[in-house]
């Protein structure tokens, strides 16, 4: 088993818990992901669960061959049951040792399995945090998960924002929590949403 496997499982479980706390009247609200409403971030989480599970299985095709289009931000009617199931399937798929080896594809980008797994973990945590703070919930995640995401983000944001993924990192005090430092690296200011 890859050392990241339990972290993916914990992140998916925590983000599923956060989804359960979203009320219908919050869905049109703003999120730290400035271009997306809460409804759209929730829909994105549901879709990325399916795409990253397919990438783990090396099931390349429609789910992995292109970046999310407009339909990826439309909330499914059964999202309250489907999206937690999608996240559970993502966690299950990354339990397989082969998921972390070789090459795979997600969003139309070919990349090593290990990198893809870390991108999936980062997406689940960052967007889970987006949903939590936008709906007035705490996003409490173990430090080992937060540190893995922080280190991953630090490895590719050092040269500036990553177009299409994250804005420029936000300066934050080094005494901030590991999660807050990870979130700041993604271009979000956790102090604004505290």
Domains and CATH numbers, the chain: 5-139 (1.20.120.450)
Which pLDDT belongs to residue 87? Answer: 98
Which pLDDT belongs to residue 162? Answer: 63
Query: Does the CA dihedral 159-165-167-169 come out positive or negative?
Result: negative
CB 53 within 8 A of CB 95: no
For residue 143, what pLDDT band results from cuts at 50, 70 and 90? very high
CA 32 from centroid of its chain's CA atoms: 13
Note the pLDDT tens digit of each residue in 41-74.
Answer: 999 999 999 999 999 999 999 999 988 776 778 9
Looking at the predicted structure, is the pLDDT value of residue 154 above 60?
yes
Note the pLDDT tens digit of each residue in 155-173.
Answer: 876 666 666 567 778 899 9
Query: Does the CA dihedral 24-30-32-35 come out positive or negative?
Result: positive
Looking at the predicted structure, is the pLDDT value of residue 3 above 60?
yes
């Amino acid at each position: 088993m890859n050392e990241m496997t339990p972290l993916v499982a914990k992140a998916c479980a925590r983000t599923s818990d956060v989804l359960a706390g979203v009320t219908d009247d919050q869905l049109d609200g703003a999120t730290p992901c400035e271009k997306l409403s809460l409804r759209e971030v929730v829909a994105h989480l549901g879709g990325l669960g399916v795409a990253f599970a397919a990438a783990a299985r090396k099931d390349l095709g429609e789910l992995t061959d292109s970046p999310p289009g407009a339909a990826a931000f439309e909330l499914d009617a059964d999202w309250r049951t489907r999206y937690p199931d999608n996240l559970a399937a993502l966690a299950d798929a990354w339990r397989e040792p082969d998921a972390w080896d070789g090459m795979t594809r997600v969003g139309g980008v070919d990349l090593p399995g290990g990198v893809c797994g870390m991108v999936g973990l980062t997406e689940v945590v960052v967007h889970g945090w987006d949903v939590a703070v936008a709906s007035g919930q705490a996003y409490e995640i173990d430090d080992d998960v937060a540190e893995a995401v922080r280190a991953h983000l630090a490895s590719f944001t050092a040269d500036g924002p990553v177009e299409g993924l994250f804005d420029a990192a936000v300066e934050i005090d080094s005494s901030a929590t590991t999660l807050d430092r990870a979130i700041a690296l993604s271009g979000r200011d956790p102090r604004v949403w505290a």
